[in-house]
Copies of this chain bind each other. A is one copy, B any other.
Amino acid sequence: MTGMTVEILCVGTELLMGQVLNTNAQFLARQLASLGITAHHQTVVGDNPDRLAEAYRLALSRADVVITSGGLGPTVDDITKAQAARVLGKELVQLPEAEEMVREAFRAMNRPMSANNLRQARFVPGTRVIPNHHGTAPGAIVPAGEGRFIVHLPGPPRELEPMFTESIRPWLASMADRVLVSRYIRIFGMGESAVDERLRDLELGGNPTLSPYCSTGEVMLRLTASAESEAAARPLLEPVEREIRRRLGDVIYDIRDDDGGSLAASAIAALKARGATVCTAESLTGGLIAATLVNVPGASDAVRGGFVTYQTETKTILLGVPADLIERCDVVSAEVAYAMAAGARERLGADYALSATGLAGPGGGTPERPVGTVFVGIAGPKGVRTVELHLTGDRERIRTLTVKHAIAQLLRETRETEE
């Protein structure tokens, strides 16, 4: 099917009340985009039968595939399945293969099953039932006439995401007559608008397509080519990737075939490739640099540990930063960042040490050192360097950016240290 149209329909009063953040819509939209499919509409309705039926009618009038999330559990009377059946003029019946899936799910979780739970096995005849490996409610691909389909997915993200990836994504891809291949290019140290300015002429919706995804201080570019086969698509990526590398230079820190990268993952990989270790000494970030590094699976070989020296005198007690240095230079200074990194590296016997001291606000700023003034230190085999940052935003943003700048410095340092 060329130019397939897909819509996302999320069902749940908890979304309308703002009790839950709708991460499902973003997950599905992003997955669809990576398949070359743009969902032109996302709709959220509550557990109200008539409004849901109306939403189905509207979505089916403009889309080939309507993907729903939520409302499959027995507590809401199967509302998502029941209203789809109503709109299609069909009845829900107990499907034996679905019943077996529900029974198996309860067996696997070692939980008793009530008769009510068997409602989760009711579907329109002809439905392809999709197993749920992380919950009890099966999903479904329901034929909706004229080559259209309604796809039902459970509401909890940890059920929906694997079910989509394992079962719905391959099914959608099999309906496409082209193969998509993507490269994910990660950038730190250049803002979204500067990246956009340099690459604007490459973003013109040709083949490959180029889409930016932004998070605090970072930009990820997704470069996607489509062709009849992977072998035909891949060569389309190469000249554009090379051109992007040429234009952006060393603000690119990672390029890979999936979107799982991060500054911390790159830094841990660089450390492990060199058999090197790192430790931390943190003031304003209060442990967040260490926690971000440790969040990478397998970090234990590379991350030795660290110090949180939040109160001024703990910098002296734990890291040996001279009290008179702090007095003379201010606790927020390059000198203190230097001494923190050097002290941590020595005490923990690590190859590298990262330090950060600064003002996250809201209070504490002065004309000479306004909120957002941060010093990062990096100690390594070749000595100690410090970097002065002037960050903007609220407390959380200043802390997040400090963590990213510190880890980016570590990455730069480890990559520059040739064996």
- The chain A residues found within 8 Å of chain B, CB to CB, are 15-23, 25-33, 38-46, 48, 51, 55, 58, 158, 211-214, 280, 282, 284-291, 293-295, 297, 299-300, 303-311, 314, 317-318, 347-348, 362-363, 393-396, 399
Contact = CB atoms under 8 A, between A and B. Distances in A.
Nearest to A288: B291
A286 B297 contact: no
A369 to B, nearest CB: 16
Nearest to A319: B305
B287 A289 contact: yes
A23 B18 CA distance: 9
B286 A308 contact: no
Contacts of A39: 16
The residue in A42, A51, A282, A348 that gathers the most chain B C-beta atoms within 10 A of its C-beta is A42
Contacts of A285: 291, 294
Given A44-B41, A286-B291, A287-B288, A212 B19 contact: yes
A285 B285 CA distance: 15
Contact of A303 (B22, B212, B280, B310): B310
B287 A286 contact: yes
Contacts of A30: 17-19
B306 A300 contact: no
B310 A213 contact: no
B18 A44 contact: no
Leading 4 A-B pairs by shortest Cβ distance: A287-B287, A286-B294, A18-B30, A18-B29
Contacts of A363: 297
Contact of A362 (B18, B22, B288, B297): B297
Contacts of A31: 18
A219 to B, nearest CB: 10
Contact of A295 (B294, B297, B396): B396
Contacts of A29: 15-18
A252 to B, nearest CB: 19
A27 B309 CA distance: 35
Contact of A18 (B33, B284, B396): B33
A306 B294 contact: no
A30 B19 CA distance: 7
A211 B48 contact: no
B25 A22 contact: yes
B22 A22 contact: yes
A311 B287 CA distance: 15
Contacts of A396: 295
Contacts of A43: 41-44
Contacts of A394: 158
Given A19-B214, A318-B348, 18 more contacts: A15-B42, A17-B29, A17-B33, A18-B33, A19-B211, A22-B22, A41-B51, A286-B294, A287-B288, A287-B289, A287-B308, A290-B308, A295-B399, A297-B395, A299-B310, A300-B310, A300-B311, A306-B308
6 contacts: A19-B30, A40-B46, A41-B51, A287-B290, A291-B291, A305-B311
Given A15-B42, A289-B287, A311-B303, A317 B348 contact: yes
Given A39-B16, A214-B20, A307 B304 contact: no
A287 B284 CA distance: 12
The residue in A43, A214, A308 that gathers the most chain B C-beta atoms within 10 A of its C-beta is A308
B16 A26 contact: no
A246 to B, nearest CB: 24
